[in-house]
Amino acid sequence: MGKFEIKTGSSGKTMFNLKAGNGQVILTSQSYESKDGCKNGIESVKKNSQDDARFERKTAKDGSPFFTLTATNGQIIGKSEMYSSTDAMENGIASVKKNAPDADVVDNS
């Protein structure tokens, strides 16, 4: 089962990672000014991760595929790691869809 982990960065801002059941990070958020903003971001991921149209499949300058997850207002709420192949990226998207809705939230901030 996946989990969201909230942490505070060196800048004092809060962010989260969505981790799959194996502990691998499958989605990383932006930095938020407040913990409440971060928690709202998690709720947005839970909701928007079930709509494939919210996932933007992209290619980095070095050719590595990755994806972002956007809210209905178009704002990016999470970004994946760089993948070695399009198939691996699609597996990452499937993992977000599977893990996000019921993931526990662990506050390590």
What does each of the 109 residues of the chain score in pLDDT, given as a tens digit?
A: 899 999 998 888 999 999 999 999 999 999 999 999 999 999 999 999 999 999 999 999 999 999 999 999 999 999 999 999 999 999 999 999 999 999 999 999 8
With a CB cutoff of 8 Å and minimum separation 6, the contacts of 50 are 97, 100, 101
Residue identified by tokens 């709509």 is 51
The pLDDT of residue 79 = 97
Q: What is the pLDDT of residue 18?
A: 97
Q: Are 46 and 53 in contact (CB under 8 A)?
A: no
Domain 3-107 architecture: Roll (2.30)
pLDDT of residue 1: 84
Sorted by where each begins, the domain ranges of the chain are 3-107
Confidence (pLDDT) at 52: 97
H helix runs in the chain, sequence order: 35-48, 86-99
pTM here is 0.93
| Percentages of the chain per state (helix, strand, coil), in multiples of 5 | 30, 35, 40
